[in-house]
Structure 1
Amino acid sequence: MSKTDNYVAVDTEPNGHGSPGNDDNGDENVERGNWDRRLDFILSSVGYAVGLGNVWRFPYLCYKNGGGAFLIPYTIMLFAAGIPLFVLEMGLGQFVSKGCVGVWAVAPLFKGIGFGMVVISTYVCIYYNMIIAYTLFYFFASFSKVVPWSDCDNYWNTETCVGHSKNGTNETTIGTIETLHENATRPSQEFWDRYVLGRSEGLHEMGRVRWQLCLCLLLAWIIVCLCLIKGVKSVGKVVYFTATFPYVVLFILLIRGVTLPGAGKGILFYMKPVFSRLGDAKVWKDAAVQIFYSLGPAWGGIHTLASYNKFHNNFRRDGITISLINCGTSVFAGFVIFSVVGFMAHDSGLPVDKVAESGPGLAFVVYPEALARMPGSTFFSLLFFFMLLTLGLDTMFVTMETVVTAVLDEGRYYIPNIYEKKLLITVICCSICFLLGLPMTTNGGIYILTLMDNYSAGFSLMLVAMMEAIIVSYVYGINRFLSDMSIMLRYEMGIYWKVCWMVLSPFIIGFIFIFFCVTYAPLTYQDYTYSPVGEFLGWMMVVAAVFPILVYMVYFLVQRAEGSILERLKYSMKASNEWAPALEKHRIEGGYQVIYQDNKVKVEQMDQAVNL
């Protein structure tokens, strides 16, 4: 059966606005633009995938779940779900040159999934840039002869603080924290809680806006906005520094870390294999979750990045390459982190498992304290927090570009020449996100950030990812999708991708989702347990991300489709006329049918039965 028997592609206008051709700079798509070179795309994708989670989450999970043995389920999950989903989303975005909303021309009834992705990405933009603001705060605070979290001689410290001697040297107090004081606190913990956050007792006590954090948040958004002014053209240049610099810093910190006393003990704790842990379902769940959150499928960013590729870019090769770089970075970062954590355990007299933490506590409490105990603490602190800054900005660039691209791709139906207004729309989107993030600069802001981190991209993200794999495989049809992908690649993809998209990936996501539901417990931050009101706010975030999916399904069936219920369902699950390559030359090459009549498009309706 030929493609003209299955697909009808349309343009808004022939040979021009709707069929953008090549420009003098080598762009295939004049209207949206393309990456200037493949390396721009690779580095942007690596920067998006490699983020703060690679530094503060993976090493801890690996150590906690069997050390080196954890790499077994981690690798299995990578090849069974991580890489397939990453490549799937790259193929969707590149084929139609659209972001996470426009790709759902593949099954219009489910276009609300794209809007759900935009909601999730907006959540992430709001709280993730707050983490970058914390990083900026620490970076500026590091410009001192003695870093301020190294001792207990500051006005924000309490009587329970136990740390360095008053002369600011690397000499530590004799004995362990536990033996000195039952309620002893670290100077780095008090700096974080009392000076940076001014932390209140809970979500019920928000307090006032802390002007230092507010200015850091404003600076973070200014940086993001400036780097997005020209879209992928500017991002593609910035990432040459932001995506590569972290590796330079990680290498420097590794060299410094392994030369410290106790480093070997930390690395041994990190990688010592405990194969008995492989029988624990939680270990496999943690491996799958880490792959999922690290690579970033279902956030919409992968669609966005790939949508600016040229049509015949080898997205399969790029997807595998980027995924392997991301996971290799996680393993490498573990050696860097635990060599220093081992030194801290040796220096403080505490066991490694009492020192290691996951999340913000590792980045803003444990690791800074270890850096403070090194000779040259100021230099290494500046280096570490600048690395965190570049890691965070890479992810922010793509996540914010996802939101902006979705606004542009959908707004083009209502606002003429909307792509020419991208600068204005970028500034508006960044300004709105900054204002929405201001509550996180208050005394209770960390509780909002923790709530958003746990609920904004949890259950809803799993649901979106599972639906994506199922819809492509069973609604549109896996064979038809593979055929579309072969047009771009100029060769067949193979049975591996078919098995993963149809069976393995949905099964793994379903397993994670069920495990989350079974093991659900009230959210906590340190010693604070969220109240039912806080839990309710978190679930409202989940509902807000899922709500567009249901609303759009109802809207499409009622307003866009005609006939009986079955006829409407059948029509709404067919690929729309926009599911086709963006350029006319590629549609002709792939055998897509376009009919023009009196400068208008005549659409010939054809049955598009699912071809499994």
Structure 2
Amino acid sequence: MVVSTYIGIYYNVVICIAFYYFFSSMTNLLPWTYCNNPWNTPTCNGVVTPRGINNTLANVTRSLVTGAAEVAVEVVNKTKRTSPSEEYWKHYVLQISDDIGNFGEVRLPILGCLAVSWVVVFLCLIRGVKSSGKVVYFTATFPYVVLTILFIRGITLEGAVTGIKYYLTPQWHKILDAKVWGDAASQIFYSLGCAWGGLITMASYNKFHNNCYRDSIIISITNCATSVYAGFVIFSILGFMAHHLNVDVSEVADHGPGLAFVAYPEALTLLPISPLWSLLFFFMLILLGLGTQFCLLETLVTAIVDEIGTDWIVRNKTVVTGGVAIVGFLLGVPLTTQAGIYWLLLMDNYAASFSLVIISCIMCICIMYVYGHKKYFKDVEMMLGFPPPIFFRVCWRFVSPIIISFILIFTVIQYKPITYNDYVYPGWSLAIGFLMAMSSVICIPIYALYKIAKSEGTTFLERLKNSCKPDVKWGPALSEHRIGLYATPGSEGEVEVRPLKEDLPIISAGNASRNVASHL
């Protein structure tokens, strides 16, 4: 829940910036095309000129550096060259300050877009999964249409093959880079929703005998294939841009916000009818972001409803959703200031990185070795109707904990403080980052100690042993599913199937209501 809170706060800020760029693209000329705007500096050097031809100075200068041509030109200072899209991003959209502690002013256009983003999320979740489930059909499928359109356009451009070759060429020297492994782990955990509650929340709405084995395979393959496909779309355009500038693809490739809001928008300015392509691209980003945000907000709302569980809370879930959205908006306001990008990247690198790996490792160990792998396998078999395959059993018990632990240790040993371009984060900000990372992890030992203290026993070991046992109410929510180990004995020792009542052993009121709804 803590991780989902952190991600939900800053992720909606990313969506609101995509909204801002989407609205800014509704023009005949993209505002980050040229260097003749009030926010541009003397070092601005665009890839196109007002007459629509190539910027000769940029081409020749870079050709000199790369050795592609030997032409004498007068250059003000090549090392200070900045693109119009970069200056639009820094000096106009963000109006970025010089330090993370210098908040400056709230960027009202960004704040307005943040409000729009939260309103859209709230309206789509106003009836819970009943409303968001219908919206997700569109937010999850239409981006593939946009990706396909951009891919077809991208591969027809000159230089696209070069960009795709760069994308497919492994960089083996980075195989021992801890940051690469850490980023890869964080990305796969993030894209699949592992360890931050989204999967558990959404799965609680499934039917009891839903084939989650099939779903896990489909989702994993689709997620991987989508990432690879998106790479072709991105690098075909970046290859065209590199060809246009006569530079290597590595010089135009970027990551994080720099790719979505600087490099790719700059490449789009080279295309005919560039506002149309920009609208499609940022509309796709908005849909992808909203799909994730739906899950994040639903996770928080479900946790509140299930844990508090009062009649008023259950009946007024819409009010809870609105309250969470308002709080999320208020907590996101500091990220719309001139120092907001620093805090956004700090939260992204710490609040939703280390903690995800640690939580997932603890989860694997606790389920397999505290709850017990045999009981867990029987639980899965009871729901699926067949035992989990040997591959999954080996991965759950051995492979996953070992790999996750290795990534965690490797990342900690070779840890490097984050930077944003040339800006080095001060020590106090990194301390805040670690506090955010640990704030979600520390909940686990705190609750464990609380559980041990509340357990029966005269000694610590007895309390510890009893605290590791499942609650007597543990099991399926509906009586019709309580068979075998979880069977409710009747008067003659047989399984008693009866309507769900308040005194029936259940996991939580929220889970029961969702299981009932899934059977209607």
TM norm structure 1 = 0.76
Q: Which residue of 2 aligns with 1:581?
A: 476
SS in 2 for 1:318: helix
Distance 1:285 1:165 in 2: 38
CA contact (8 A) 2:33 2:269 kept: yes
Q: Which residue of 2 aligns with 1:173?
A: 56
Tell me which moved more, 555-564 or 121-130: 555-564
CA contact (8 A) 2:186 2:356 kept: no
- In structure 1, what residue type is equivalent to 2:410? F
Tell me which moved more, 562-571 or 196-205: 562-571
Structure 1 regions of 5+ residues with no counterpart? 1-117, 604-612
**1:507 aligns to 2:402 (yes or no):** yes
SS in 1 for 2:376: helix
Q: Which residue of 2 aligns with 1:57?
A: none
Q: Deviations over 1:466-495 (max 9, x none)?
A: 011111111111111110111111111121
CA contact (8 A) 1:466 1:510 kept: yes
Q: Deviations over 1:114-158 (max 9, x none)?
A: xxxx00000000000000011001000001111001110111111
Q: Which residue of 1 aligns with 2:449?
A: 554
Distance 1:248 1:600 in 2: 48
- In structure 2, what residue type is equivalent to 1:399? L
SS in 2 for 1:400: helix
Distance 1:291 1:239 in 2: 21
Deviation at 1:279, TM superposition (A): 7.4
Map residues 202-281 of structure 1 onto 2, 5 A cutoff: 202-273=99-170
Q: Which residue of 1 aligns with 2:33?
A: 150
CA contact (8 A) 2:371 2:468 kept: yes
- Pairwise CA RMSD: 2.1
Q: Which residue of 1 aligns with 2:375?
A: 480
SS in 2 for 1:243: helix
Distance 1:589 1:564 in 2: 33
CA contact (8 A) 2:28 2:275 kept: yes
**1:357 aligns to 2:254 (yes or no):** yes
Q: Which residue of 1 aligns with 2:24?
A: 141
CA contact (8 A) 1:580 1:592 kept: no
CA contact (8 A) 2:146 2:280 kept: yes
Distance 2:48 2:140 in 1: 39
Q: Which residue of 2 aligns with 1:402?
A: 299
Question: Which of 529, 533, 540 is the aligned partner of 2:424?
Answer: 529
CA contact (8 A) 1:170 1:375 kept: no
Aligned residues: 483
Distance 1:491 1:563 in 2: 41
Q: Which residue of 2 aligns with 1:6?
A: none
Q: Which residue of 1 aligns with 2:245?
A: 348
Deviation at 1:512, TM superposition (A): 1.0
Distance 1:351 1:572, change over 3 A: same
CA contact (8 A) 2:182 2:408 kept: no
Q: Which residue of 2 aligns with 1:564?
A: 459
CA contact (8 A) 1:146 1:168 kept: no
Q: Deviations over 1:541-561 (max 9, x none)?
A: 022112221221222222344
Deviation at 1:295, TM superposition (A): 1.5
Distance 2:262 2:245 in 1: 14
Q: Which residue of 1 aligns with 2:221?
A: 324
Deviation at 1:592, TM superposition (A): 2.0
Distance 1:574 1:193 in 2: 55
- In structure 1, what residue type is equivalent to 2:115? L
Deviation at 1:432, TM superposition (A): 0.4
TM norm structure 2 = 0.89
SS in 2 for 1:149: coil
**1:493 aligns to 2:388 (yes or no):** yes
Q: Which residue of 1 aligns with 2:282?
A: 385
Deviation at 1:201, TM superposition (A): 0.2
Q: Which residue of 2 aligns with 1:19?
A: none
Distance 1:602 1:149, change over 3 A: closer
Distance 1:443 1:120 in 2: 25
SS in 2 for 1:194: helix
CA contact (8 A) 1:523 1:530 kept: yes
Q: Deviations over 1:145-188 (max 9, x none)?
A: 11001110111111110015552625333443656433111000
SS in 1 for 2:316: helix
Question: Which of 157, 160, 163 is the aligned partner of 2:43?
Answer: 160
Structure 2 regions of 5+ residues with no counterpart? 65-74, 492-500, 506-520
Q: Deviations over 1:60-104 (max 9, x none)?
A: xxxxxxxxxxxxxxxxxxxxxxxxxxxxxxxxxxxxxxxxxxxxx
Deviation at 1:293, TM superposition (A): 3.0
Q: Deviations over 1:277-317 (max 9, x none)?
A: 66777766654444333222101100011000011110110
CA contact (8 A) 2:125 2:131 kept: yes
Deviation at 1:214, TM superposition (A): 0.3
Distance 1:199 1:276 in 2: 34
**1:449 aligns to 2:344 (yes or no):** yes
Deviation at 1:406, TM superposition (A): 0.5
Distance 2:490 2:333 in 1: 52
